[in-house]
């Protein structure tokens, strides 16, 4: 609708009047758009994209040198997490506080390496495919031949995202149950990277157990990083020299569906390359009630994780409380 055609518009009518039907939709004010972009994690997502562009052509030696600097800095500026890590790694240091501190500092550096490696996962996966023996999926193929799906369990050890991408080369759909990673804009980029490499994402939530069951019943692969009981209500087990609580979900799923539990991890070698390892499926627990069988199978997971971690404790990212069950409190 326009103003009266034959009348000269008065100065007061040169701009649309808010609320009139002929006024165009003004949209949210610029400051609201900017605030929404920031709240959704736009600056972090932009940094993610820039870091990816900068990291892709970087030689491994330079990439890891920068990561080591960042990891060492994080160790210094996050004193609570560093202190918690030293307590955790004391289990591998036989009472030597200096050795425990060295492992904790090394874990911070290795985690920083893993973050930079995530930015170039496609490149690293191509390297694995070209390296004989770097991807070994024998136990997984044998498990899938039974027709009940397979559950691959791993601690937060080495580069689990690269390990998931390697497993996704098996020719069968692969799904990972994951928490959101940072704000929505960043989580969307992380999820897109995983899915681009063939790993479907099942977000942690009220429907995750149902989706996991459906995947296993289709004889597909489920990936679970399960050395932290974030939900609470886990199973007490003996783990790295102390009693800790691990989630009951993996054992419960396995017992309910008959899917085998296969421990596995992707470790970084001394020269910076990677190698995957899948162990043979864990033995079925002895006959008994469901609670006892779940506890026995969860203990078997813990024992398998211990063996993996002992090979190089500094590649295990234990910055959380091992003895706390449920969500971690905010910490610096």
Q: What is the pLDDT of residues 16-38, one digit of tens each?
A: 444 444 555 555 566 677 788 88
pLDDT at 25 (0 to 100): 55
pLDDT at 240 (0 to 100): 87
What's the rounded Cα separation, in Å, for the pair 325 and 86? Answer: 19
pLDDT at 182 (0 to 100): 86
pLDDT at 325 (0 to 100): 56
Of 324, 135, 137, the residue nearest 247 (C-alpha): 324
**pLDDT less than 50: residues of the chain:** 1-21
- Cα 197 to Cα 118, 126, 158, 173: the distances in Å are 12, 11, 18, 11
- Cα 289 to Cα 33, 151, 254: the distances in Å are 56, 22, 15
Q: What is the pLDDT of residues 242-280, one digit of tens each?
A: 999 999 999 999 999 999 999 999 999 999 899 999 999
What's the rounded Cα separation, in Å, for the pair 320 and 312? Answer: 18
pLDDT at 26 (0 to 100): 55
pLDDT at 29 (0 to 100): 65
What's the rounded Cα separation, in Å, for the pair 234 and 244? Answer: 9
- With tokens 């681009």, the residue in question is 196
pLDDT at 1 (0 to 100): 40
pLDDT at 2 (0 to 100): 35
The whole model's pTM is what?
A: 0.86
193 C-beta neighbours (distance < 10 Å), count: 18
Angle between helices 208-217 and 249-257 (to 10 degrees): 40
Residue 151: exposure state from Cβ atoms within 10 A (0-12, 13-18, ≥19): buried
The answer to whether 212 touches 181, Cβ cutoff 8 Å, is no
Phi, psi for 230 (deg, rounded to 5): -80, -30
């Amino acid at each position: 609708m326009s103003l009266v055609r034959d009348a000269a518009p008065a100065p007061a009518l040169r701009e649309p009047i808010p609320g009139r039907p002929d006024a165009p939709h003004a949209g949210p004010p610029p400051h609201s758009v900017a605030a929404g972009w920031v709240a959704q994690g736009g600056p972090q997502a932009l940094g993610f994209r820039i870091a990816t562009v900068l990291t892709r052509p970087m030689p491994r030696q330079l990439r890891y040198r920068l990561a080591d600097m960042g990891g060492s800095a994080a160790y210094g500026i996050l004193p609570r997490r560093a202190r918690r890590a030293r307590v955790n790694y004391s289990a591998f240091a036989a009472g030597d506080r200096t050795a425990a501190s060295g492992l904790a500092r090394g874990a911070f550096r290795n985690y920083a390496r893993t973050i930079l490696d995530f930015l170039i996962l496609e490149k690293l996966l191509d390297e694995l495919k070209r390296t004989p023996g770097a991807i070994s999926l024998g136990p997984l193929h044998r498990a899938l031949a039974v027709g009940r799906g397979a559950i691959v369990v791993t601690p937060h050890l080495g580069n689990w995202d690269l390990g998931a991408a390697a497993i996704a080369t098996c020719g069968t759909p692969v799904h990972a149950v994951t928490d959101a990673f940072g704000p929505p804009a960043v989580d969307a980029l992380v999820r897109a990277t995983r899915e681009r490499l063939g790993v479907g994402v099942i977000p942690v939530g009220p429907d995750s157990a149902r989706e996991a069951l459906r995947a296993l019943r289709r004889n597909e692969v489920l990936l679970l990083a399960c050395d932290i009981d974030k939900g609470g209500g886990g199973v007490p087990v003996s783990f790295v020299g102390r009693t800790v609580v691990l989630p009951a979900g993996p054992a419960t799923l396995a017992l309910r569906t008959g899917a085998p539990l296969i421990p596995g991890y992707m470790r970084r070698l001394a020269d910076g390359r990677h190698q995957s390892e899948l162990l043979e499926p864990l033995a079925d627990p002895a006959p008994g009630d469901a609670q006892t069988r779940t506890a026995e199978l969860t203990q078997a997971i813990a024992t398998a994780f211990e063996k993996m971690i002992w090979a190089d404790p500094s590649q295990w990212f234990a910055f959380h409380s091992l003895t706390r069950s449920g969500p971690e409190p905010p910490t610096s």
